[in-house]
Chain A
Amino acid sequence: MESLTFRHTTAKPLAGTVPSTITGVVASGNLEVLLERVLPPDTCEVAIETPIAGYGPVWEAVVADFVARAQPGGIRISINDGGARPDTVSLRLLQGARLMEA
C-alpha cells in the first residue's frame, strides 16, 4: 500500500454547490473517488491510497492535468485505488467533478 497526497492552487472554485459525491467502485482495475467541498475555494487536495507502489510520477501527472482542466477549487478528493490504469483515474476524476457541478 502506498499513500500519496498532492496539493494544488486553482484559479477558481469548482462550479456548483453539491457538498460531496462518490463515483466508481473499488475493484480490480477500477477505483473509488470521494469528492468533498470542504477546502478554501482556491485549493484542491488529492489523497490516494493505492495497492501498487512506484507510480508516484504517473499519479502526479494525472492529478496535475485534471486540476488544470477541471479547476476543482475547494474540493478535497480521496481515492481508493484498485490498480486502475491512468486513463481510468482521469475519467473518474472528471466524472466526479461533473457530478459536483450538477
Chain B
Amino acid sequence: MSRADMVASLQDVGLSHDGGAHFVLRHVSLTLERGEFVALLGPSGVGKSTLLRVLMGLMHPTEGQTGGSACAADAGAQTTRRSRAMVFQDARLLPWRSVLRNVMFGLEGLHLSKSEKITRAQEALRLVGLEDAQDRLPRRLSGGQRQRVGVARALTVDPDLLLMDEPFGALDPITRTSLQEELQRIWQQTHKTVLFVTHDIEEALRLATRVVVLAGGPPAGITGEIVLDMPHRNPDTPAFRTYAARLRAMIAGEPDPGGEAYWRSAEI
C-alpha cells in the first residue's frame, strides 16, 4: 500500500483519562485506506466512540501516534474542504438554525463565497433526499430526517474521512434499514472513506467492506478483523451467518471458529 492510499492511521495508540494510571484503550493500530468502508464493531462502552474522537482530533492519545491527512484543525486559510467530518449518534443539530444553515455549519470559515456555500449545502441535501426541507427547523423533522441532515452536514465539507458514531443507533428499525441502504448508495456515489462505529453485527455486515472488532479490557484493543467478500448483503445467506458467528467470537474473545465449521453446523 502506498502512502497516498492511506487516509488515516493509528499506531500503538493508548488512551487514558487519568494520565496513564488506567487505560481505556491500549495498543490500538489501525490503518484506513482510501475508499474503504470500515465498521468498528464492539460492545457498548468499550471505547469505540473514544477511538473515533482520537481519529477526529477531538482527543489526543496518551501514547502512540496518529497519522494521515491533517487532523481536525486544517492548516491554511485557503482550503475549501475539511479533512475529516463526523456524524454523531444524536444528530446534534443546532435548533436555532434552519436545515440549510445547519448543513452550512461546517462550511463557515472555509474559503468559499456565500453562494458557493449555499450551493454546496444544497447539493449535500439533495444527496440525502432533503432538498425540499432546507428552510425547516430541526424540531420539525423526524429522527431519521434529522440524522440525514447530520450526514449532509458532514458530507458537504468534502472530507477525506467520514467518521460516523453509531449514527442510526437511536432510530426505529424501519428508518434504520432505509438509512443504511441510503448510506450504501451515498458511499457508492461519493467513494468516501468511512469509519462507522456500531455495536450491531448485522449493521456492520450490511454496510462495511471491512469489520474491525474492538473488545476486551479495559483497556480494550482490536481483537480481530475481517475483510468482507460478499456480493449480496443478505442476512439469510450462509456467508452472512458465517461472518456473524466469527465476529461474535471475536467480540467474546474466543478463537475464530473459521468459515468451514460453521458452514456445516448451519446446514443441519
Chain B associates with chain A? no
